[in-house]
Structure 1
């Protein structure tokens, strides 16, 4: 009998005691037989670690000496593991007993599949897709991320419209499956991202090395979302705008990156003015700070990213139109309403 691949489900925790209490029992009820569950703690100052030690002696705890964010925290914890597959799972995710098996089966069928995600529904309303990942992630021509099942603030009801597994552009960090060999090949997550879009960067680097990113429709998890930083938090705004520009610089061919980033600066300026009009000056200032950071670090990001020849620029999953135009002007609120130009 063929031995099942060894899987590590790794939950990165930072002051998430309430989420651990609520959702860790579901993870421990997983039916995959060759499984280890690890909690990596980013220097929490609540009672998370003592709670785990008292109630879950079977779970390995890896403690970081400070909060390294999503990227740095996972890099340090996963460097200690030698499993065949890593599953990066948010602490605010409810899983079903057989959630792991379909994803591993899908990834085992094709050596070129490096990463994958399950269907992600809302934990508070299990008929709706969840904002962070839904049925798989895509990027538009200007680098704006969106998902099947969620475009901007429009979230679809799950009516089995995305019940076929397929290739996507990026997999959500809320429930992110990756082969260890590919994680090591890419040197993990870029720690300069700290949090937000680091999984998109990793997926894009994988795609530019001819690997596939998949959505597995046969597995479903339920995500609370926004557990660490709320949607309107200025720091979250800063990270999203900053990291999106870095993402483009690192992964696009240089000429295309220059053109797209120039246009994005103007589009970001419109977002800045909208925040001001909405009475949110801190969010507007966050966009300005993101631009300053990006300009000051252009040389740094150029040095750490290799130039990508045109023939290795993987466009599979990139939407050739503008999701902003289609959503706000053409009133196309669902993925299926977009022209199939991926």
Structure 2
């Protein structure tokens, strides 16, 4: 039986993380499992109170917020599993989840990473994800398959290749990480799992999704909708993703599209919504990409000023 390491990140959401840990204990029947929680620089260190409450969980404390990519990478380093199951702390497991994903990785050597179906926790009849289309390098856009659909079992038999796995829940082979590397730390949050998926695909592995494996996602509990923090990193990392992955001509077309279409459209929307401070945030996101190498680990002003 392959060993599975569940890795999750906590940042000032102690109750949410505890609900995840409790759901794992209540639903999991997979015997060879370890659980690792990375506290990503929470204001108050929760590890001392958690250690006696969850004696079978391994806790790691970072004194600084390393973001989604850095936090997961920190959790993977001491993991002993053959497979790493990276899950958002604002998720809850369903019965048989781990076993269903392991079964595919055990029997399909071409599969390097797999996600379950994600459904919204606030209404468990609504789908969030059963796959992604490939990113269009000209616009840096793609689509989540099934998002917003009523779950009537239409994807229960879905099993196969997808463009990318979902950062909310993805099980990856250790050998995949050894060949493709871990997530790029400089994304911090947003686009990091899609960038990772590009490298996994290019390293010769496939990304799959299994529709009858389910995880419940408490969407938007980590970062508020339309927050300055989110706005900065969504724009900054959209450009950074293209710099990392697109061929030169397609990247050039994207830059023209972004400057002539995205920037004016966003500014008009900011003005309509009276979010005038977002205008400078957008330009700072663009400026970061102009002034930093694509491998730069310098995140910019916003981590300290907005987060």
Counterpart in the other structure of 2:149 = 156
Q: Which runs of 4+ in 1 moved over 3 A?
A: none
**Contact 1:17-1:46 at 8 Å conserved across structures:** no
Partner Cα separation in structure 2 for residue 280 and residue 102 of structure 1: 45
Mapping 1:139-288, distance limit 5 Å: 139-141=134-136, 142-150=139-147, 155-163=148-156, 164-269=158-263, 270-288=265-283
Q: How far apart are 1:120 and its partner, in Å?
A: 0.3
Q: 1:24 aligns with which of 7, 21, 25?
A: 21
Counterpart in the other structure of 1:314 = none
Q: Deviations over 1:236-295 (max 9, x none)?
A: 011011111111121122222222232123232112221222222233332221111111
**Contact 1:113-1:212 at 8 Å conserved across structures:** yes
2:294 aligned counterpart, secondary structure = helix
Q: 1:294 aligns with which of 272, 289, 295?
A: 289
**Contact 2:155-2:212 at 8 Å conserved across structures:** no
Cα 1:208/1:262, change in 2 over 3 Å: farther
Q: How far apart are 1:47 and its partner, in Å?
A: 5.3
**Contact 2:118-2:216 at 8 Å conserved across structures:** yes
1:145 aligned counterpart, secondary structure = coil
1:5 aligns with 2:2: yes
Aligned alpha-carbon RMSD (Å): 1.8
Q: How far apart are 1:90 and its partner, in Å?
A: 0.9
Partner Cα separation in structure 2 for residue 279 and residue 69 of structure 1: 29
1:219 aligned counterpart, secondary structure = strand
Q: How far apart are 1:156 and its partner, in Å?
A: 1.7
Structure 2 gaps, min length 5 = 298-307
Cα 1:86/1:233, change in 2 over 3 Å: same
| Mean CA deviation greater in 137-146 or 206-215 | 137-146
Partner Cα separation in structure 2 for residue 113 and residue 82 of structure 1: 20
Partner Cα separation in structure 2 for residue 99 and residue 268 of structure 1: 39
Structure 1 gaps, min length 5 = 305-342
1:88 aligns with 2:86: yes
TM-score using structure 1 length: 0.81
2:143 aligned counterpart, secondary structure = strand
Partner Cα separation in structure 1 for residue 13 and residue 49 of structure 2: 11
Q: Deviations over 1:10-39 (max 9, x none)?
A: 111111111023221111231111111111
1:136 aligns with 2:134: no
Cα 1:188/1:95, change in 2 over 3 Å: same
Q: How far apart are 1:233 and its partner, in Å?
A: 0.5
Q: How far apart are 1:302 and its partner, in Å?
A: 7.2
